[in-house]
Amino acid sequence: MNSKFIPYGRQDIDDEDINNVVKVLKSDFITQGPTVPLFENLLSKYTHGKYSFCLNSATSALHLACLSLGLKKGDIVWTSPISFVASANCALYCGAKVDFIDIDPFSYNMSVKKLEEKLINAKKEGDLPKIVIPVHLSGQSAEMIKIKELSKEFNFKIIEDASHALGGSYKNEKIGSCKFSDLTVFSMHPVKMITTGEGGVITTNNKLIAKKIKSLRSHGITKDTLDMTKVPDGLWYYEQLELGYNYRMPDINAALGITQLDKLDKFVSKREEIANYYDKNLIDLPLKTPHQIPNCVSSRHLYIIRIDNKHSKFKHKDIFSRLRDSNIGVNLHYIPIHLQPYFQNLGFIKGQFPEAEKYYEEAISLPIFTKLTKREQDYVIDTLRKLII
């Protein structure tokens, strides 16, 4: 029995990170100073997204992404039911309606086949979505080329929820390049690829969207005289032009992000190594290991297996609780969003998205994070094996 609890994910923070945060703490600006813009430049350089914006969470980022595309009451957003609730809530914040596209049985991302079918149907009914939000589950990209094609045919905008996927790429394009979308959103919560404590990032190549995000992130206020409606009363003058929010990231947090970003590629390789070791050591068991689509780099944020409830010694729920009893912090990403009580109250019912519901009866996220030791991983593998055969 392993005496120490092994979580499914955790941050990797070193002295370089700590020193950089301390440096900002000792400087003149701990928020709204030069560190956030510096981090944003580095993020644009890394992702090849022209404009980058740091925000206080990916949830705020998703909200502003929707607002920047003009989402309002009467509009419709589609996303994947296998995601964190924030992927759907952003639509509701704007007064829009949300609906889901069932998942692909191999990648567990939004099924592009089901997306196309639903679009053809929605066109007939006159209720096409304004925005589609594909979620790159585990850090593996959704099928963006096809989604982009469909967006032209059916006239919708695309926000990539890449909360899991910083450091990954799709057909040789970095996630965040927005080659196949209008905006991309990343999360910097501690379990994600890199962390700023709490934090979110938006990338976009669209100048008007960028301007809107910048304004909405800080109360809808401008200090740029070119944007003002009146001649400034004096040097103190600013104007609020629209209803915005305080969704800013403090410089303290951005300082952590800068040194974390330096290590991102190393983090991805380390996670790849861990994933490959799981693949190799679970291959003979009656369970599904993660399916990787060709010509893409998954950031390997999560390592999700699917239990074969017919051929395993124990069933999914039992395996999960026995792993937890063994001090292994397995998790389940995610409970299908449409099964949440809040969404059931909006009219969603069980049975609507069968692939997502089947996934929910089989999926387990095994521990994967940069500091997971070989010994800990062997312990996870051995414990799991005994529950399967």
For ligand PLP, which stretch binds (CB under 6 A), given 22-30, 80-88, 292-300, 308-316? 80-88
Q: Is 81 in the site for ligand PLP (CB under 6 A)?
A: no
* Nearest residue (CB) to ligand PLP, 154 versus 190: 190
The span from the CA of 140 to the CA of 119, in Å, is 24
Q: Which of 63, 189, 271, 338 binds ligand PLP (CB under 6 A)?
A: 189
> At 167, phi and psi to the nearest 5?
100, -15
Q: Is 200 in the site for ligand PLP (CB under 6 A)?
A: yes
> At 45, phi and psi to the nearest 5?
-60, -40
**Prior bond of 334 cis (ω within 30°):** yes
Binding to ligand PLP by CB under 6 A, coded x per residue (else -) over 87-126, reads x---------------------------------------
- Dihedral angle at the C-alpha atoms of 168, 173, 178, 179, nearest 10 degrees? -150
User: Which has the closest alpha carbon to 47: 204, 239, 246, 236?
Assistant: 204
Q: Is 17 in the site for ligand PLP (CB under 6 A)?
A: no
Q: Is 248 in the site for ligand PLP (CB under 6 A)?
A: no
Helices (H) and strands (E) in the chain, counts: 13, 15
Q: Is 132 in the site for ligand PLP (CB under 6 A)?
A: no
Q: What is the β-pairing status of strands 303-307 and 76-79?
A: unpaired
* Nearest residue (CB) to ligand PLP, 109 versus 383: 109
Number of residues in contact with ligand PLP under rule CB under 6 A: 14
Q: Which of 115, 135, 159, 384 binds ligand PLP (CB under 6 A)?
A: 135
Residue 215 backbone class (left: φ over 0; alpha: ψ -120 to 50; beta: rest): alpha
Q: Which of 75, 102, 104, 161 binds ligand PLP (CB under 6 A)?
A: 161
State the nearest-atom distance from the C-beta of 20 to ligand PLP, in Å. 21
For ligand PLP, which stretch binds (CB under 6 A), given 12-20, 51-59, 66-74, 264-272? 51-59
**Sequence-distant (≥ 6) Cβ neighbours of residue 218 within 8 angstroms:** 244, 246, 247, 248
Run of H or E including 221: strand 221-222
**Which residues are at the interface with ligand PLP (CB under 6 A)?**
57-59, 83-84, 86-87, 135, 161, 163-164, 187, 189, 200
